Each structure stands twice: as structure tokens, then as C-alpha cells.
Structure 1
Amino acid sequence: METTIALYSHDSVGLGHARRNRALAYALAEQLPALTGTAVRGLLIAGHPDAGRDPLPGGWDWLVLPGLTRRGDGYVPRRLGTDADALRDLRSATIDAALSVLRPDLLVVDRHPFGIDGELLPVLRSQRARGGATVLGLREVLDTPRVAAAEWERLGGAEHVARHLDAVWVYGDERVYDLRRTGELPPALARLATTTGYLGHGRPAVRRPRPSTAAPDPFVLTVLGGGSDGTELARLAVRAEPPAGHRHLLITGPQMAPAEVTELQALAGERTTVVRTAPDAPELTAEAAAVLCMGGYNTIAELLVTDTPALVVPRSRRRQEQRRRAHALAAVGALETTEITDLAVADLTAWWDRAVTTRAPRDGVDLDGLSVVPPLAAELLAATASTPAEVSIHAV
């Protein structure tokens, strides 16, 4: 007997959603068999080709969908020569066909309960008809309460969303930030919600030996997540002077435009190295004397498990998620933050000089989400196993 798990992420911008699901896959593969008494297999459904390059636990695999990317207020095909509606239908049918064969006991959907433009709605109906459980996984910050409320309404309202779910897992520490209290999570969904702690401790490490991108110690590090919106901060960082006796490693992210990476490499001084990617970025974060970064969930989760001093410069365009996360964590002393408009090259040079003489313990933040999720999954699997599947036209 096997337990089958599917994890979905839409991945229109960056790889944060897929990386979160990958961390969950490793935790579930390692811990769930002892809790359920069954072997565990799984499928990660992603929407960016780079996601499938990352290894998974034994018995797990990627299903990489044709990609979508954001344009204006909507989504368009990233590469495929078709219109958005046709691509949505293709993605929806592909997911539904795969899960009809695998029949997952548990489906975890990251951030967008109905996927992009409703592509998951048929999938959720099929999952419910089969008797499988469905969880919505949320990062600890969504956006301003007003923006979040408008998004729930566009989906048909919180009550409508809740009818498709068995649980909501919030991957954060409610003592730092509680989206149930801010109003980002309406009551109908808050009733289903459990906060897990940040998905920090226990993230899958990359394989050694370390690649040649590793900087010699001591060094300061700039890391920009996917990199699609990190050019402005990178231009400041590459011109700043590393502290005496230190080098500077700048990881642009794989989605920064090649021309911008070339520009940064030309601007870099002799003590600064600019690379597009480094698979061991979490290890580099732990080993750095200080870190400059943006405020994406995965970057912050990897940072919080270290004692590396950090200056977080959040993205402020389109969403306020990164800014709200950075300010909440700064309020509990876990990091420092500033706005890009308030940061000059001289400011960054001065911050590095000061930061490399300090450390930043973060013992007060709950970082154990990856050990909390498997028992939550086991409890949900036991509950749904005792509940008969819905009889519907889809089941018939």
C-alpha cells in the first residue's frame, strides 16, 4: 500500500512556489511513512522549466507544464504559440489526466487555490469526487488586507474557496505575522487554517562537493532570488566596496536578463564576483559574513536558520508582500530592512563594514514548519480515509 501526494505550483514569476513545494516533498517523503505505516510517492506539478532541474526524493517526479507569465493584469503563454485560454485548458487537462491516473490521497496547492484563471477547478472537483484531501498552502504574508480581500472576491468569495478545501496551512510564525488577524485570510478560510512555522529547518541541502562558484572565506553575499526584478539592487551592490579582507559574491538569479548580468559583470571590481546561479545558495548564506537580499519567502526562510546578519531590501512594486514580511521580522530583531529608494552605495558599504563584525541569532522565530507539516498531513489522511468519496457526475 502506498500514499500518493501531489503538490501544485503555478510558477508564473520566479521559482519560489516550486521551491516551497520541493522542501515539503522532502519532509513528507522522510517523515510520513513512519506516521502512516505506508510508503510515500509523489508528483510535483510546476510551471517553470527550471523547476524540473532540482532533484527530488526517490519515488517522486516533476510534471512541468507549458509556462505562463504575467503581462499587465493577466497571464499569457511564456513560449507556446497559443492564446491564454487555450493554454489554460491544456494545463488543466494535463493536470487532471495525471491525477486521474495517480489518484493522490493528498493534493497541496501553493498560494492560488484555483490555479491560474481557474485551471484547477476541474481538478479540485475530481479530487473531491475520488475522496482525496486538498490543502491550500500559503506563505505567511499575502499582501495588504485590501488587496487580499479583492483577490478572494475575484475567486467567488472565501466561502466558495473554502468549499473546495479540507485545510489551509500557513507557512509562518503567528507571533511574527498572523494573516488571520490582519484580515488577509477571511474567517471562512481562517477556520480551516493552521500555522506551521516557517519552512526553515530541514530544507534539502545540495550535494557536495561545492561548485566553483563558491567564494573563498571571508565573503559578503548578495542574493536576488529569481532575479527578474533585482537589477536595481544589484547595481547598487556591485558598486559597493566589500569590507577589508572580504570578497563579494553576487548571485543575480537565473531569470535576470542576460544583458543585465553582462552589465553587472563589467561593473564589478576585482573583489566582486557576479554569477547567475549557485545551487548551494543556502550554504553560502550560512557561511557569509553578511547578506544583502530581497524579501522573498524562500530567501528569508533560508536566511532565518542562520545567524548571518542581513539587510533586506524588499520588492515594492506590484505587491507589498515582501515589504510587510521584512518589517515584521525587523520588528522582532531577526534582520534589518530598508527601502531601495533610501539606500545608496555608500550606505551599503558602511552597513557591510558594520555587519561583518556581528552575528544575528534568531532563536525566537519558529522555523520548524517542515517537521509540523507531516503530522498535519497524516491526521488529514486518516480523516479522509474514513470518509466516503462524493458520488458525482465526474465519479460516474
Structure 2
Amino acid sequence: MVSCLNTYVWVSPHEGVQYSDTRSQRLRIALYSHDTMGLGHMRRNLLIAHALAQSPLHPVILMINGAYEVNTFTMPPGVDCLSLPALLKETNGEYKSRCLDISLQELITLRSNAIHSALEAFEPDVLIVDKVPRGAHSELDPALKSLRSTGRTRCVLGLRDVLDDPATVQSEWSNECNEDAIREYYDAIWVYGDPAVYDLVHEYRLSPDIASKVRYTGYFDQRMRLKLSEGIDPLAGLPPDRLILCLVGGGQDGTHLAEAFAHADLPPATSGIILTGPFMSHEVRQHLRFQAANNPRLRVLDFINEPALLIDRADRIIAMGGYNTMCEVLSFKKRALIVPRVRPRIEQMIRAECMRDLGLIDVLHPDELSPEALAEWMACDLPPMGNCDRIDLNGLERIPFLLCEVIQHAG
């Protein structure tokens, strides 16, 4: 039986579970994310890598990502990355090669072979897969089959709090045989959320044997990222005004929100910053810079790898409703207006409505988005953010203990 490394006894402050570790070789963890739209999956795995690297486990971590932008982020000691040739998910939900002029099937074969070879050579003790049990277009199947045949690696499926509306999830999971894959290959499911906000097991009607593998980690407290901001100063030259920050995730589908914000009237003594994301088109960024050139209180920033200082400094936030963005709003206790994506998935809308119903955010449907609607919200005298202390934000702190639970149950 495999146990956690280095001889010590570790007691969880949350679960009161005691772990002892006698293995001399350092634990090896692999993290996979398919990264077909935006950077949310990769950033979530990167936070997990940081949390594990800073824990008493001190594992060796290999991140396997579908976005080469991962190489711009700060990596903790003991972590390295393998970037796969990139996939692109278009707004209609279709996939294609992002960079290489090859067919989708050729790209999937290339990625699948690279993943299989890397995991075969790395021999991880645990593989943590983000969101898609079989990988994009089933690219993980050969690797999962190989890992299970050796019996060395424990596999964990990590799911964000909301995947999509229940009917869509149930249909997709059935078509992709996800529950069968989970039964065959996965030892645990970690849901990166709080069932008090959205009960994934109940909403998606998971089969009892699948539901028994689920552990809710809690949401990810993003304030640890302030430690990663050393040497980064996105606030240089910013006037001492109130600050409203516009976030559009990776930027691929954030054009309408960014342009509406650029044309909105800012309140007096207030500055605005638009963070465009790396996937926003060059033409849109040029247009936004033109708007900023004619407005001394508006600034446009291209992709920066760690915006935590900006988020911490902001008085209010206007943003799309991705998982990481919502965690940022909760972690830094910011008053926020969320304009969620509704295509090709409505998970952002579902998440935003759940948070709104708890009194934590305001929501504007994208069909109602306009410069005037944003200006009206920015000018309103709003009360402070609702009490988010009732939301579990201990996910990053809890994950090392859940990892030990997975390992110690290995036979």
C-alpha cells in the first residue's frame, strides 16, 4: 500500500484526520487539463499545484496542459509543465486545431500519444484530471487504460462547482460514457465547490456508486495568489481614484463586455481598467486602446499572469462569471456585477444566479448589456458585499488531505 511521503504525522484542522508517511521517495502528482477555451482549467490546476507544493507533502508535480500560456505563470519549486499542441473550442461548441494546420483527428492523436508517453515515463502516484473524465475527444483513454493496468496510479476527477444545465450534462455524460469511465478508472471525484451553493450530485442525478466517490473540497480562496505577485506592479502610475476593474477571462468571448465598459461613463473620481486576456482579438484590443487614448481615466491592460493585486485594489468588479473569477470575487470580498456567458454553455449563468440568490453579487444578462446599464450600476450607491463567510472557501487548504485519503486507500 502506498502512503504519503516523509515520516511525519499530519492532522487536518478541518477533518481531524491523521496521516502518517513513511515513504522515502517523493510523491509524484500529474495534473491534466484540456484547455480548449480560456485559461480557467489550467489556472485551477495551477492553484492546486501551488497548494500541494506548499504543503508538507512537497510532491514532484507534472502539469499537462493544452495552453502554452501556462509557461508565463510562476511555477513553484518541484513543478514543471508539458504543453500540448493547442485545441480551440469555438463559440458554437465545435473543436479545431488552434495553431497547427492539421485535422482535428490528427491533433487529437498527437496529443493523446504525448499524454500517454509522458505519464508512462513519469509514473505518477496520482493523476488529477480536470473536468473531462476521458479528456478532450477521449484523448486520455489510452493513458487511463495503461495506468489502470499497472495498478500504480490513483486517478482523481476534479470538477468545478457547475458544469452546465442538468439535461445537457446528463445527455453529454451518457453519450461520452463518462460514468462507465469513472467506474473503471477513477478512485475519487473532487468537486471544487460547496453543496450549499450548488449540489452537483443532486442536480446531475449521479448514480449512487459514482456519488459515493464525490468529495466537496470547497471553493478556492484566491488570496494566496497575492504571494505570487512579487515583482509585478500593474498599479504603477494609477491615480488614487476609486477603481472599477473589468475582467473578461481569457478574452475569447469577452468582446461585448469589454467594449460596453470602454464606452460606459465612469463615475466621478473613478478610474477603470480593462484586462483583455490573451485570446481577445488584436482588432478588438486596438479598438479598446483607441477608446482609452481618449479617456484619461480608462486603461487597457493586455494579459498579465497575476492580476491578484489589481483585484485586491479594486473597489468594484464587472466581469464574466467563470469559476476562477467568482472565486476571486468571493475571496477578496468585492462588490461585483457579473455578466455571464450563456453560449455554448450556461454554467456561468447558473453559478451567477446561485450567488445572486445568496446576496453575494449582482447579475446582468448579456442580452441586457449596454454601456448605459454598466454606467447605471457603477453610479449606484450599493451596500457592501453580502456575508460570504458562510461559503466554504477552504478548497486549497483541504486538497492535500484529500490527496492523502486517496493514496492511503490504495491497495
TM-score (norm 2): 0.88
Secondary structure (helix, strand or coil) at the match of 1:327 reads: helix
Other-structure match for 1:60: 79
1:350 to 351, 368, 376: 376
Residue 221 of structure 2 is aligned to residue 211 of structure 1: no
Instruction: Provide the aligned C-alpha RMSD in A.
Output: 1.8
Residues 184-203 of structure 1: per-residue CA shift (max 9 Å, x gap)? 64444222111110012554
Structure 2 counterpart SS, 1:2: coil
Task: Give the counterpart letter for 1:56 in structure 2.
Answer: M
Structure 1 CA distance, aligned partners of 2:296 and 2:223? 36
Structure 1 residues not aligned, in runs of 5+: 34-38, 388-396
Match of 1:41 in 2: 60
Does residue 114 in structure 1 map to residue 128 in structure 2? no
Equivalence for 1:16? 40
Q: 112, 131, 148: which one pairs with 1:92?
A: 112
Compute the displacement of 1:127 (Å): 1.6
What is the CA–CA distance in structure 2 between the aligned matches of 1:344 and 1:77, rounded to whole Å? Answer: 33
Q: Which of 232, 240, 263 does residue 256 from structure 2 map onto?
A: 232
| 2:121 alignment partner in structure 1 | 101
- Runs (4 or more) in structure 1 with deviation over 4 Å come to none
Check conservation: 1:26, 1:204, Cα contact below 8 A. Answer: no
**Counterpart residue number, 1:324:** 350
User: Which residue in the other structure is 1:282 paired with?
Assistant: 308
Q: Which moved more, 1:349-358 or 1:255-264?
A: 349-358
Q: Which moved more, 1:348-357 or 1:129-138?
A: 348-357
Alpha-carbon distance in structure 2 between the residues aligned to 1:340 and 1:285:
22
Contact 1:314 1:326 in 2 (8 A): yes
* Aligned twin of 1:196: 217
SS at structure 1 position matched to 2:303: coil
Q: Secondary structure at the match of 1:113?
A: coil
Find the aligned partners of 1:355 and 1:226 in 2 and give their Cα distance: 30
Residue deviations 1:67-114 (CA, integer Å, cap 9, x gap): 111255542211123222222111111111111111000000000111
* Map of 2:283 onto structure 1: 259
Tell me, yes or no, if structure 1 residue 125 matches structure 2 residue 182.
no
- Please give the alpha-carbon distance, in whole angstroms, between the structure 2 residues aligned to 1:200 and 1:358: 19
Change (3 A) 1:204 1:212: closer
How many equivalent residue pairs?
A: 380
Letter in 1 for 2:239: P
Contact 1:158-1:188 within 8 A present in 2 as well: no
* 8 A contact 1:254–1:277 mirrored in 2: yes
Which of 247, 257, 264 is the matching residue for 2:271? 247
Q: Which moved more, 1:288-297 or 1:185-194?
A: 185-194
Structure 1 residues 18 and 185: CA distance shift in structure 2, 3 A: farther
Q: Is the 8 A contact 1:311 1:338 kept in 2?
A: yes
Distance 1:133 1:4, change over 3 A: same
1:341 is matched with: 367
Distance 2:332 2:408 in 1: 35
* AA of the residue aligned to 1:189: I
Cα deviation 1:144-199 (Å, max 9, x = unaligned): 11100111112225234322110000000110111111126444422211111001
In the alignment, which residue of structure 1 is the partner of 2:169? 148
Identity among equivalent positions (%) equals 35
8 Å contact 2:35–2:41 — kept in the other structure? Answer: yes
Amino acid aligned to 2:191: V
Give 3-state SS (helix, strand or coil) of 1:372's partner. helix
Displacement after TM superposition at 1:129 (Å):
2.2
> Structure 1 residues 5 and 129 mapped into 2: Cα distance closer, same or farther (>3 Å)?
same
TM-score, with length taken from structure 1? 0.91
What SS does structure 2 have at the residue aligned with 1:42?
A: strand
1:230, CA displacement in angstroms? 0.7
**Structure 2 unpaired stretches of 5+:** 1-24
| Paired residue secondary structure (1:248) | strand
